[in-house]
Amino acid sequence: MLTTLNRMTGMPVVLSDVQIGYVERAVADLRHGRLQGVIIRRGIGMARWCDQSAIALVGRECVLLRQRPGRLPDLKPQQPVQVFLSSGQWAGTVSDVVLRGDNLALQALEVSTGPLQTLLGRRVYARAYRSVGHGRQVVVPRLLSWTQLEKEDAQ
């Protein structure tokens, strides 16, 4: 099942059949092509960190954990990642990340040319990418629609 980091926000987090909080933010590691982890919060309490090794599954309705979340690490603020085609043409910025819920591997980057285009549903996806410029830029060979991405994922 494919999901996105933005869809994960607000999902209940469950450990041993007990809801322990909600996903406040999911963090991707573009260099390694995996989910880095999630920030979990319950009410107005302290935020907790759960790295990818402690996440068993990201389902349609909740995130299942293998172990209790730990202390929140010092996360650097996420800066926009610029996307360029292999021809050198600017394609937009990464607006979201698509991942598989079962193995937490990144499947594609969602690319948009701006917030208005994102709201209008005008986004494309890059399955393959190469990180350059200390992770602030990626180069992609081609862009796909959501339908093309799902079709490739089913194969």
Residue ranges in 35-140 assigned as alpha helix (H): 115-119
Give residue-wise pLDDT tens across range 120-154. 878 899 999 988 877 789 999 999 988 888 888 77
**Rounded to the nearest 10 degrees, how much is the dihedral formed by the CA atoms of 24, 121, 133, 5?**
20
Q: What is the pLDDT of residue 131?
A: 85
Q: Is 118 helix (H, G, I), strand (E, B) or coil?
A: helix
In this prediction, residue 10 has a pLDDT band, given cuts at 50, 70 and 90, of: very high
Query: Taking the model in full, what pTM does it have?
Result: 0.86
Q: What is the pLDDT of residue 67?
A: 93
Residue 123 vs residues 20, 59, 117, 120, 153: alpha-carbon distances, Å: 34, 23, 7, 9, 18
CB 39 within 8 A of CB 23: yes
Q: Could you tell me how far CA 48 lies from the centroid of its own chain?
A: 18
Question: Of residues 14 and 150, which shows the higher confidence score?
Answer: 14
Q: What is the pLDDT of residue 120?
A: 82
Average pLDDT over residues 88-99: 92
Give residue-wise pLDDT tens across range 62-83. 999 999 999 988 877 778 889 9
End-to-end distance of the chain based on CA atoms, in angstroms?
Answer: 13
Average pLDDT over residues 95-101: 91
pLDDT at 33 over 90: no
Residue 125 vs residues 26, 78, 144: alpha-carbon distances, Å: 19, 20, 5
Mean pLDDT score of the chain: 89
List Cβ neighbours of 88 (8 Å cut-off, separation of 6 or more).
Answer: none
Q: What is the pLDDT of residue 139?
A: 93
